[in-house]
Amino acid sequence: MTTTTLQPSALVITKLVIAGFLFPPAITPPPGDQPTLFLAGAGQRGLDVGGKLVIFTAIGVYLEESAVPSLAGKWEGKAAEELLVSDHFFRDIYTGPFERLTKVTMVLPLTGKEYSDKVSENCVAYWKAVGTYDRAKHAAIVKLKEVFKSKTFSHGASILFTHESSGSLTIGFLKNNSMPDSGGTVIRSKALSEAILESIIGKNGVSPAAKESLARRISALMKERITS
Tell me how far apart the alpha carbons of residues 1 and 101 are, in angstroms, rounded to a whole number.
11
The gap from C-alpha 168 to its chain's centroid, in whole angstroms, comes to 14
Angle at 84 between CA 23 and CA 125, to 5 degrees: 85
CATH number assigned to the domain comprising residue 80: 3.50.70.10
pLDDT at 177: 61
> What total number of domains does the chain contain?
1
Alpha-carbon dihedral angle through residues 221, 162, 198, 56, given to the nearest 10 degrees = -100
pLDDT at 182: 59
Asked if residues 56 and 108 have their Cβ atoms less than 8 Å apart, the reply is yes
Per residue in 128-166, pLDDT tens? 999 999 999 999 999 999 999 999 999 999 999 999 988
Closest C-alpha among 179, 203, 110, 182 to residue 151:
110
Cβ-in-10-Å burial (0-12, 13-18, 19+) of 3 comes to middle
Percentage of the chain exceeding pLDDT 70: 89
Give yes or no for residue 5 having a pLDDT over 80.
no
Tell me which residue range forms the domain holding 35.
Answer: 2-227
User: CB neighbours (10 Å) of residue 52?
Assistant: 8
pLDDT at 175: 75
Percentage of the chain exceeding pLDDT 90: 78
The more confident residue out of 62 and 174 is: 62
